[in-house]
Structure 1
Amino acid sequence: MGSWGPEPEAFELGTDGPGTIVVGLDDSPSALRALAYAAGLARRNGSTLVAVHVREPGSAALGWSACAAAGASSLLAQAAYEARDAVVAALRCEVAHLAEQWGVRVRLVVRDGDRLKALAAAATEHHADALIVGTSTRIGSRLAGSLAVRLVRRRNWPVTIVP
């Protein structure tokens, strides 16, 4: 009688999972859960994890226009830039801690612009095999569609949505 599978001594060690995982990251609880899920997946598969944080274009425009004005506006612009830098610093710390604790290769990429375009560009540049994002909590996502749904419509990568 024939065998349906390989013999036990011919078992292949290794993984067929994703080699590179891109995860969208901001300071929301669902994005941090997505990061933890992606880190676990990367650890189990020996994958490289690329965490992409996209800063909103409106906050940069606010900063530049506020810098052009005098007085309180320049203080507002300085506070906006400090807040953006504080978020990035906190995310760098979280990513470094995760890499050390879980033994995963993690790289944090910070971009300015549209979240959909920036995540898609990062996934393309890093030859991502999987894309993981948290659920959207923005009101605009109900009108224009969530980021995850728009990424799925591109049909370039498998997309996992973490609640």
Structure 2
Amino acid sequence: MVDKEPAPFERGTDGPKVIVAGADGSDSSWRAVSYAAGLARRQNALLAVVYVQPVIVTGALLGAPVAEVTTEVADELMAEIRRSAERLQGIFAVRWEFHTFRGDPYNGLVTAADSLKADAVVVGASEHAGHRIVGSVAIRLVKAGRWPVTVVP
């Protein structure tokens, strides 16, 4: 009989423990959050809903209240998530957190996934036609190859 050492810890081997879902208020991002919530419920994982507040330099230079607007979006997203969680209370139990980061969506989601030690990232498909040419956040996350990425239409 060979005495084996226990295998070293490997993140994600028993299913995801933390699932990051990107939310920006678009229909596709809400579908992504819903999909991620279902995954989190079935896997008994933590759902980390992330909103990346864009830094709009041009608007800020012109005196537009950019920070106030993006904070309002974050507050509205949080309120909607809370309402949804309350409606499902007693039916489905999902552990969840809401996080906001500042920056561009790709770098914000990368920072969130790294800092939260995400095992998976779920995002909605881009609704912007220009992303077919330039590349969407979802495509950039897939190309990064650091986590399994699910893109929800």
Which range, TM-score by smaller chain?
A: 0.7 to 0.9
Task: Name the residue aligned to 2:50.
Answer: 52
CA deviation digits over 1:23-67, x for unaligned, max 9? 110110000000011111111111101111112222xx2443233
Residue 81 (structure 1) shift: 4.6
Residue 114 (structure 1) shift: 1.3
RMSD (Å), alpha carbons:
1.9
**Gap regions ≥5 residues in structure 2:** 1-12
Amino acid at match of 1:116: Y
- What TM-score results when the alignment is normalised by the length of structure 1? 0.76
- Which runs of structure 2 are paired with 1:103-122 in the superposition (5 Å)? 103-122=93-112
Separation in 2, partners of 1:62, 1:52: 24
- What TM-score results when the alignment is normalised by the length of structure 2? 0.81
Count of aligned pairs between the two proteins: 137
Residue pair 2:54, 2:70 contacting (<8 A) in 1 also: no
Q: Using the aligned pairs only, state the percent identity.
A: 42
Bigger proportion of residues as helix: 1
CA deviation digits over 1:104-144, x for unaligned, max 9? 12111111211111101110111111100000012331222
Bigger CA radius of gyration: 1
Amino acid at match of 2:24: D
| Counterpart secondary structure, 2:62 | helix
Amino acid at match of 1:64: A
- Which runs of structure 2 are paired with 1:53-72 in the superposition (5 Å)? 53-58=51-56, 61-67=57-63
Task: Name the residue aligned to 1:135.
Answer: 125
| Counterpart secondary structure, 2:70 | helix
Residue 98 (structure 1) shift: 3.3
Amino acid at match of 2:31: R
Residue pair 1:98, 1:104 contacting (<8 A) in 2 also: no
| Counterpart secondary structure, 2:24 | coil
Task: Name the residue aligned to 1:146.
Answer: 136
CA deviation digits over 1:65-93, x for unaligned, max 9? 233xxxxxxxxx24x55432332121001
Using a 3 Å threshold, how does the CA distance of structure 1 residues 139 and 55 change in structure 2: closer, same or farther? farther
Structure 1 residue ranges, 4+ long, deviating more than 4 angstroms after superposition: none
| Counterpart secondary structure, 1:116 | helix
Task: Name the residue aligned to 2:28.
Answer: 30
